[in-house]
Amino acid sequence: MEFRVLKYFLVTAQTENISRAATDLNISQPALSRQLMNLEEELGVKLFFRNKRRTTLTEAGYLLKKRAEEINSLMEKTVDELSNAREGISGNVRIGCGETAGMQIIARAIREIRKDFPLVHCHLYSMDYSGVKEKLDKGTLDFGVLIQPNPPKNYSYVELLHKDIWGVLMRKDSPLAAQDKICAADLDGLPLIISQQALNKKELENWFGKKSDELNIIATYTLIYNASLMAEEGIGYVLTLDKLLNLDENSNLTFKPLSPPNIFRNFFIWKKNQLFSNAASILHEKITALSDYRR
């Protein structure tokens, strides 16, 4: 399978129209159709459902599209690194991260390295724990930031000088808002809104002393801003990390920490034995310098 043909397939899958894809690729429609049919014959599967208006993917086509996007991303990253190796310290660094105030340390490091290396560009991708690991393993990310109680296995890491505290986000007129801390009994039976990652990893079950299906979880979220809107509407109590929102005196919301405390650490991670580009190496060195613990 040639990379050129894979690119043809990807553009067709994204546009869902062979004529439009042929125009974007600057080739004739018959030539594109022939290349796609040859690809189907080579793989021994049907990739598209074709009609006069749309060209949609089969199940096998969806799988190939996902892999083609990963291959294309890795190819672009490789070309970028090779190009920048010729030009000196410049280029792109890709970091996958969840929502944490610990990203302030990453931001500080980026600010400092750009003083000396203005051609280094950093790209942040918001994703959960599994997304960070998957893309690191496939080589489409240089680094990741994980938020969890213990150091990660199978990755090299630097522990950031930040710890996240779990708590409850609620309206200021909530009955629980007068309390300094929230214990598990306070939330018994109340409508809860929990991050999808925390739910998948069962991060809060030990604190509650209950399985998730014993809790009154009415909604889940991946982005805290969206969850905060539900809290403002009084839909439920949001289990989240501290310092993710600006809760000033004008906010309708307040944050109360859990008791006993549920504290998570932040880890800046990369693949073991990874070969860094010049740009990634500079960021790695700066993060290490800003941290007091490394592995």
Amino acid occupying residue 70: E
User: What is the reported pLDDT for 62?
Assistant: 85
Angle at 117 between CA 111 and CA 123, to 5 degrees: 60
CA dihedral for 148, 205, 166, 122, sign (positive or negative): positive
**288 versus 75: which is more confidently predicted?**
288
User: CA torsion 107→285→142→85, rounded to 10°?
Assistant: 110
CA-derived radius of gyration, the chain: 24
Q: How far apart are CA 5 and CA 68, in angstroms?
A: 10
- Tell me whether strands 192-195 and 143-148 are parallel, antiparallel or unpaired: unpaired
Q: How far apart are CA 47 and CA 18, in angstroms?
A: 13
Assign 292 a pLDDT band (cuts: 50, 70, 90).
low
Amino acid occupying residue 219: A
pLDDT per residue over 97-134, tens digit each? 989 999 999 999 999 999 888 889 999 999 988 899 99
Q: How far apart are CA 71 and CA 138, in angstroms?
A: 9
Q: How far apart are CA 160 and CA 196, in angstroms?
A: 23
Q: How far apart are CA 56 and CA 11, in angstroms?
A: 12
Whether residue 51 has pLDDT greater than 90: no
CA dihedral for 115, 120, 124, 129, sign (positive or negative): negative
- The stretch 10-35 carries a mean pLDDT of 88
Domains plus CATH for the chain?
A: 3-71 (1.10.10.10), 89-162+265-294 (3.40.190.10), 165-262 (3.40.190.10)
- Tell me whether strands 192-195 and 155-171 are parallel, antiparallel or unpaired: unpaired
Q: Which residues contact residue 120 at a Cβ distance below 8 angstroms, ignoring those fewer than 6 apart?
A: 89, 90, 91, 92, 93, 113, 114, 279, 282, 283
- The stretch 224-238 carries a mean pLDDT of 96
Q: Which helix (H) or strand (E) covers residue 264, if one does?
A: strand 263-271
User: What is the reported pLDDT for 145?
Assistant: 96
Amino acid occupying residue 198: A
Q: How far apart are CA 271 and CA 78, in angstroms?
A: 16
Q: Which residues contact residue 281 at a Cβ distance below 8 angstroms, ignoring those fewer than 6 apart?
A: none
Q: Which residues contact residue 241 at a Cβ distance below 8 angstroms, ignoring those fewer than 6 apart?
A: 99, 100, 101, 147, 164, 165, 166, 167, 224, 264
pLDDT per residue over 197-228, tens digit each? 888 888 888 899 999 999 999 999 999 999 99
Q: What is the pTM of this model?
A: 0.71
Helix (H, G, I), strand (E, B) or coil at 290: coil
Helix axis angle for 18-25 and 3-15, nearest 10°, is 130
* 28, 22 Cβ separation under 8 angstroms: yes
The count of residues in the chain is: 295
